[in-house]
Amino acid sequence: MSIPTPPPDGNDRKEPLQPSESGARDAWSLRIATVSGIPIRLHFTFLLIVTWLAVAGIGRGGIGSALFMLGVFLCVALHELGHSLVAQRYGYKVRDIVLYPIGGVASIEGTPRPRHELWIALAGPAVNVVIALLLAAYLAATGGFAALESAAALADPAQRAQRMAVLTQNDLALSLLVANVFLVVFNMAPAFPMDGGRVLRAALALKIGRPQATRIAAAIGQMLAIAFGILGFLNGNFFWMLIAVFVYFGAGQEAQAEQSRAVVEGAAVGAAMVREFQTLNVGDSLRRASEVLLATHQQDFPVTHGEEVVGVLPRNALLRGLAQQGESAYVSEVMLRDVLFARQTDPLEDLLTRADGVQRAPVLVMEGERLVGMLTVENLMEFLTLRQIATTRDEQQQDGR
């Protein structure tokens, strides 16, 4: 079994200004705003595209299309905020919103209950409906719809393109109206990872439970993707085919994620944790730590100071410490101090969906002040495998009857 080890990104240094869980995301994106405590970030590919458009657009009505692009991305950001604010209202934590050239992604932690998921998924497209209605009202008030007729009358695509290049204020509003209608239609397609897929799953889950609802919604999404892909192929439309592939794999991924979530459902941290392990003392040398590493199967070690648990020493922090400071350095110099603690009764599912879960370092399980267990990635994988086998056997026996 190959398990990705956490990257050596200097997590052992305490840097209060830089939350370690989002370190990797920060490197590829630029924070542009914070709304309701949610950081909104621009992904670097987005900056590339905008730069390219700006350069390519110079001298060809670039300002008009740049304004339009800006407007569309504002609408996409508001769409994601719609999802996020409703999620927050139901008590879920929203990690961030990242804007990519092909759309936005709001990362909501935890697994929303079906009724919550339904409203969270609907909230995004609802924002675009409201924006479209506002733009329509504005256009109706300013006589902008007359412009639509004249634009539609231009059958020649070259002339229409020319019109697009010299966008007047009303044309901009009109284009944004069309873009918002498109955003609603596109996002409400009943296929993961689009919102429509989530709405479908949530609605089904209210009746038949989440695992089966996900299977059906994912299957429908994949069928739609195949149909769309064939249509794109017949039309020679490469872009459609690309979207079809994206949707096909998105649906598969969602089904997979739901499967591992269903496997841990109802399990508590105490069921999966390591109960027998060695601890190290803050005053131990790295030589002593490497002896224990060799003598046991253990890869990560809780570190104590007297009775108190003060940190954890994962294998790669130990190796790095040995390479940089040598055998005589102390455990206290290289251990991680910002440890994640849990109780035996905590749901395992919560740790799986948390960004700073068990991936970086083992979670220490406490009972009051006493250290009773440790949850490592390796152990978690073993637990998932065992549960999966048990579940499959149960299903086979039920089918056999």
Instruction: Note the residues at the interface with Zn ion (CB under 5 A).
Output: 124, 195
Q: How far is the CB of 115 from Zn ion (least distance, A)?
A: 18
Question: Looking at beta carbons only, is 92 or 383 nearer to Zn ion?
Answer: 92
Q: How far apart are CA 39 and CA 95, in angstroms?
A: 8
Strands 301-305 and 280-281: parallel
Q: How far is the CB of 3 from Zn ion (least distance, A)?
A: 32
Question: Looking at beta carbons only, is 124 or 232 nearer to Zn ion?
Answer: 124
DSSP 3-state of 342: strand
Angle between helix 62-89 and helix 169-187 axes, rounded to 10 deg:
40
Q: How far is the CB of 20 from Zn ion (least distance, A)?
A: 28
Q: How far is the CB of 98 from Zn ion (least distance, A)?
A: 13
Q: How far is the CB of 83 from Zn ion (least distance, A)?
A: 5
Asked whether the beta carbons of 272 and 379 are under 8 A apart, the reply is yes
Q: How far is the CB of 260 from Zn ion (least distance, A)?
A: 23
Q: How far is the CB of 121 from Zn ion (least distance, A)?
A: 7
Question: Looking at beta carbons only, is 195 or 258 nearer to Zn ion?
Answer: 195
Q: How far apart are CA 315 and CA 214, in angstroms?
A: 38
Q: How far apart are CA 21 and CA 94, in angstroms?
A: 13
Beta-ladder partners of 274: 374
Nearest residue by C-beta to Zn ion? 124
Question: Looking at beta carbons only, is 29 or 84 nearer to Zn ion?
Answer: 84
Residue environment code for 59-91, b if the CB has 16+ CB neighbours within 10 A, otherwise e:
eebeebbeebbebbbebbbbbbbbbbbbbbeee
The residues near 401 (Cβ < 8 Å, ≥ 6 apart) are: none
Question: Looking at beta carbons only, is 61 or 103 nearer to Zn ion?
Answer: 103
Question: Looking at beta carbons only, is 124 or 197 nearer to Zn ion?
Answer: 124
Residue listed under structure tokens 């990362």:
107
Q: How far is the CB of 124 from Zn ion (least distance, A)?
A: 3
Instruction: Name the residue type at position 113.
Output: R
Question: Looking at beta carbons only, is 12 or 195 nearer to Zn ion?
Answer: 195
Q: How far apart are CA 57 and CA 101, in angstroms?
A: 17
Q: How far apart are CA 303 and CA 126, in angstroms?
A: 51
Q: How far is the CB of 195 from Zn ion (least distance, A)?
A: 4
Question: Looking at beta carbons only, is 192 or 383 nearer to Zn ion?
Answer: 192
CB burial class (10 A; 0-12, 13-18, 19+) of residue 24? exposed
What single-letter DSSP state applies at residue 282?
A: T
Question: Looking at beta carbons only, is 187 or 298 nearer to Zn ion?
Answer: 187
